[in-house]
Amino acid sequence: MILGLTMMYLGLVVLLPLSTAILKGATLDGSAFWAAVASPRAIASYKLTFGAAFLAAALNAVMGLLVAWVLVRIPFPGRRLVDALVDLPFALPTAVAGIALAQLYAPDGWIGRFLAPLGIQVAYQPAGVFVALVFIGLPFVVRTLQPVLEELDPALEESAICLGASRGVTFAKVIFPALAPALLTGFAMAFARGLGEYGSVIFIAGNLPMKSEIASLLIVTRLEQYDYAGAAALATVLLSMSFIMLLVINSLQSWSRSRYANR
């Protein structure tokens, strides 16, 4: 009964809306579908969306591990405040985050005014998309790694050090294999969130077609033009690509977990 209720709930909440989008996109014939999803503008939006989401998730994987390590292993004044700040992107409306980032990185903003003399422009450029996705993706990595770090027995590290291993070798051979599945999970969650992000990106990206336009914005543009089938076709491609990449990442996560368990 519980299994049936769970499957019914997932079907109504997840599968039904997704299948509706796919079926709407399927109303186009082959040539019209291809024209909608493979236009130069659409391909440019895919490249920016997936590229920025991947790079932001990769950076968050590194810095999220560092932040989680500091919060778990290093006591310092104000640690509770820092721990609470990590969740700020969760609680902050995405539109507010986008406006704040745009103001910070604009040429006359608090950070942008120091970058402008160096010829670096973040706001209203593809770099702005990357910055926004880093902001909203960090908590996924930190909150995924924290419980694993808290349960990791420090005796394992002490034993490795007592046997003559350096701290670098201890981290690479003892700590990192235990963290790898959680790190991949956090990376996948940050990556998936970045693919579908909209509110925090549109205010800082500039939204220029072929340059700083993300896929989700192009879908909204199609909807505003009453091209519902074209928007559904773009959504179908984005959904398919996201599913494939997440499936690959989850497979790597399972392989990493099984490999560590067999050691």
- Domain edges within the chain: 30-261
pTM, rounded to two decimals: 0.87
In contact, 113 and 107? CB cutoff 8 Å: yes
Backbone dihedral region for residue 225 (phi beyond 0: left; psi -120 to 50: alpha; all else: beta): alpha
* Tokens 């909608």, located at residue: 36
Pick the CATH number of 30-261 from 1.20.120.80, 1.10.3720.10, 3.40.50.980, 3.30.450.40: 1.10.3720.10
Write the CA distances from 159 to 36, 73, 162, 165, 175, integer angstroms: 59, 17, 5, 9, 12
Give the separation between CA 83 and CA 86, rounded to whole angstroms. Answer: 5
Instruction: List the chain pLDDT tens, one digit each, 263 residues.
Output: 787 788 787 777 777 777 777 777 777 777 888 888 888 999 999 999 999 999 999 999 999 999 999 998 888 888 889 888 898 888 888 888 888 898 899 888 888 888 888 888 888 889 999 999 999 999 999 999 998 888 877 777 777 777 677 777 777 777 888 888 888 888 988 998 888 888 889 888 888 888 888 998 898 888 888 888 888 888 888 888 878 877 877 777 677 666 656 65
